[in-house]
Amino acid sequence: MGDARVHVNGSIAQSLSPDSPTLRLGSDSPLRMDSGAALAPLTIAYQTYGALDPAKSNAILICHALTGDQHVANLHPVTGRPGWWETMVGPGRPIDTDRFFVICPNVLGGCMGSSGPASINPETGEPYGLDFPIVTIADMVRAQALLIDHLGIDSLFCIAGGSMGGMQVLQWAASYPDRVFAALPIATSARHSSQNIAFHEVGRQAVMADPDWRGGRYLVEGARPAKGLAVARMAAHITYLSEAALHRRFGRNLQDRSARTFSFDADFQVESYLRHQGQIFVERFDPNSYLYMTRAMDYFDLAADYGGSLASAFKDCRTRFCVVSFTSDWLFPTQDSRAIVRALNAGGASVSFVEIETDRGHDAFLLDVPDFVDTTRGFIDAAARARGIA
């Protein structure tokens, strides 16, 4: 793990001094959070692509998922790999950086430069750890709204995001309906299901069971709960795929061997793959941040904030929606998207809904799925014509 240690340090370095522009707000304007906490100072790291037009009408906000970050369409500063949504964002892509001004902030509670548990607590001069206030999806969106204010943008042309990013899209439309012209919530839900909370709890317990977690004080004590986080990632990664996708890719194939070893080595390719996924994840992600992100998703129940009625959350919403789900996504199944669509319809909103046929599971929203790319392109282009920026 010698190499990995260098990268881990690189990840913490990104948390404290990211390779991204940052917005820093001082203690004169603390962020009021759902938990009652007031956070100051507040830092938001973000990437932008393309140019804002003079009327400031062509801005698209991308909201990233649980383990994503702001590096949508550039080489990742820690891993050196391409951006996580280059199938969708870039010159000539559906979210066309030649035509649109694309903004992606690292979420509040994240570990790539925005304020989070690895940030320095001004009261102690040490990393917050678990003293960082619990973050909700609405808190993330409040922080993003401050960034949009800072960029001088009144109304976003579009907000797009999958999974946890889709939750932020829905929250934006509910919290700031006048500031969102078009919304593209993908493979998401208006409330996190019991099964998904259960999976998240398994992940958190894996992190916290690692003796190097040290009650969340590993950064102060110079430890690194990499094994716990890797196990959490392995378990979660299974939920992002589908049985069919796993079978197609790995089957029961053996890894670099012709027979079983009668041991607990990674005999099967799928074991080797998951171990690798776990290892590369800990190079770029902060374990405490993982706890905060999963908690934010667990707490998300948009209807609960509007008297139990999701339709009320979108009442009189003028935003144009395109809701997308994937047939083999069992983490955020189509029925979750349909619930969103029903609520939007009940509120009279303009909504399209597509269920994309694919066997690639929840992660399909990150992959090059032609029907999905076509739908997105059609929706964005039509919305741009309606906005007069085509």
- Contacts with another protein, residue ranges (CB under 8 A): 320, 322, 341-342, 345-346, 348, 350-357, 371, 374-375, 377-379, 381-383, 385-386
**Helix residue ranges, H only, the chain:** 2-16, 137-150, 164-175, 194-209, 218-221, 226-240, 243-249, 269-284, 287-299, 310-313, 334-346, 370-387
Report the nearest approach of another protein to the CB of residue 378 (Å). 3
- Nearer to another protein among residue 213 and residue 326 (C-beta): 326
Query: How far is 183 from 164, CA to CA, in rounded Å?
Result: 14
Strands 101-105 and 42-49: antiparallel
Contact residues for 80 (Cβ-Cβ < 8 A; gap 6+): none
- Nearer to another protein among residue 206 and residue 354 (C-beta): 354
Residues known to be catalytic: 163, 329, 362
Contact residues for 238 (Cβ-Cβ < 8 A; gap 6+): 246, 274
Instruction: Calculate the alpha carbon distances from 314 to 172, 178, 304, 309, 344 in Å.
Output: 10, 11, 13, 9, 6
Q: How many CB atoms lie within 10 A of CB 193?
A: 15
Report the nearest approach of another protein to the CB of residue 243 (Å). 22
- Nearer to another protein among residue 237 and residue 377 (C-beta): 377
Contact 61, 54 (CB under 8 A): no
Query: How many residues make up the chain in this entry?
Result: 390
Tokens found for residue 219: 């950064």
- Nearer to another protein among residue 244 and residue 386 (C-beta): 386
Report the nearest approach of another protein to the CB of residue 347 (Å). 10
Tokens found for residue 286: 């902060």
- Nearer to another protein among residue 226 and residue 310 (C-beta): 310
Report the nearest approach of another protein to the CB of residue 159 (Å). 17
In 3D, which of 67, 101, 72, 77 has the Cα closest to residue 88? Answer: 72
Instruction: Calculate the alpha carbon distances from 131 to 32, 201, 251 in Å.
Output: 16, 20, 44
Query: How far is 299 from 263, CA to CA, in rounded Å?
Result: 41
- Nearer to another protein among residue 4 and residue 389 (C-beta): 389
Report the nearest approach of another protein to the CB of residue 303 (Å). 16
Contact 153, 51 (CB under 8 A): no
Report the nearest approach of another protein to the CB of residue 383 (Å). 7
- Nearer to another protein among residue 104 and residue 349 (C-beta): 349
Report the nearest approach of another protein to the CB of residue 357 (Å). 6
Contact 107, 57 (CB under 8 A): no
